[in-house]
Homo-oligomer: A and B are copies of this chain.
Amino acid sequence: MVSTFEATPNIALIKYWGKRDSKLVLPQNSSISFTLGNSVKTVTSVLFSDRLKEDVAWLNRKKTSGEELARMLLIADLVRQKASISSKVAIASENNFPTAAGIASSASGFAALACAASDAAGLGLNPTELSILARMASGSACRSVLGGFVEWKKGEEKDGGDSHAVQIAPASHWPELHDLIAVAESGRKKIGSSAGMDRTVKTSGLYAKRILDLPSRIAKMRQAIMLRDSQTVFALSMEDSMNMHATMLDTKPPILYLNERSMGIIEAIEELNASEGKLVCGYTFDAGPNAHLICEGKDVAKVKKSVAKLHGIEKFYDCIVGAGPIKLAAKESLLSEAGKPV
């Protein structure tokens, strides 16, 4: 039977940048995010069937191969192992946002895949097990298997059994919070985040200080979210984002994902906050030039206006806090019962 899940990306307010174990994808530090609620999502269908002749996967209607395929099969293999099945697998996955937009699709993609594969194999994994499964393919995906406000506990165990996401608060805790994504023109090809973070851990002298300072920042962020203290959430999210990008620049050779468009957005938000006499918005950047502008619904128009005038801003996605992955009905499936794209 085909199982189909929808999942969404998440935006980290305290970032994940650096592994302590590359194979198991165990992070150097805990991170905190909220799962996005609309506008951007991935739908993934999975079928295990003895009628299939080979493992096959489509991404955005294009048949995958090489590393792309291997990463999707990593999840399928773990599920087959847990379920003790040897059937071949068919996977189809689609994002409703252009990959070229520079919005990370791996978190939503591997969260949806973990949920759909587990369900298709009849495993019935709990959220903790799903989070660990998704983590094996993409660290940040482990946060997208849960809705609302999420902490990825770095864990201590060697096998990674305690390195998974937990919900700090459901989406209903703070429905006013938005992530307004400002898609910024990107000039140059950058290093991938996995290779980039490995390099930072190995070569940045400042990175140890980031890791040392993180536990206190995480505790503050957790509390600020519980109190819906927007001022502190915005301030800490800006601080942590720039702190992470600073360690990237301190990497050998240096890594810089931010560009002049990103810096223009930062300046515009700083000006807006100054003119309002309080923080109405916090900016945070992942491994790319797009700005995630964290603000409350009542301020979205104001925030959008302050950056829309800038040169090189191509598009906005206005995302609310989401409830996490959902199982879709059979009619939403991307695969036929024969394992072909529909």
Contacts and interface: CB of A to CB of B under 8 A. Distances in A.
Interface stretch (A67-75, A160-168, A239-247): A239-247
Nearest to A248: B246
A270 B187 CA distance: 19
A63 interface: no
A245 B254 CA distance: 10
A208 interface: yes
Interface residues of A, number: 32
The majority secondary structure among interface residues of chain A is helix
A87 interface: no
Interface string A202-234: 001110111001000000000000000000000
**Residue of A210, A246, A252, A264 with most partner-chain B CB within 10 A:** A246
A169 interface: no
A40 interface: no
A238 interface: yes
A50 interface: no
Given A206-B210, A209-B205, A253 B266 contact: yes
Given A188-B264, A213-B205, A246 B252 contact: no
A263 B252 contact: no
A266 B270 CA distance: 29
Contacts of A187: 260
Interface string A244-281: 01111111111010111001101100100000000000
Interface of A: 187-188, 204-206, 208-210, 213, 238-239, 242-243, 245-254, 256, 258-260, 263-264, 266-267, 270
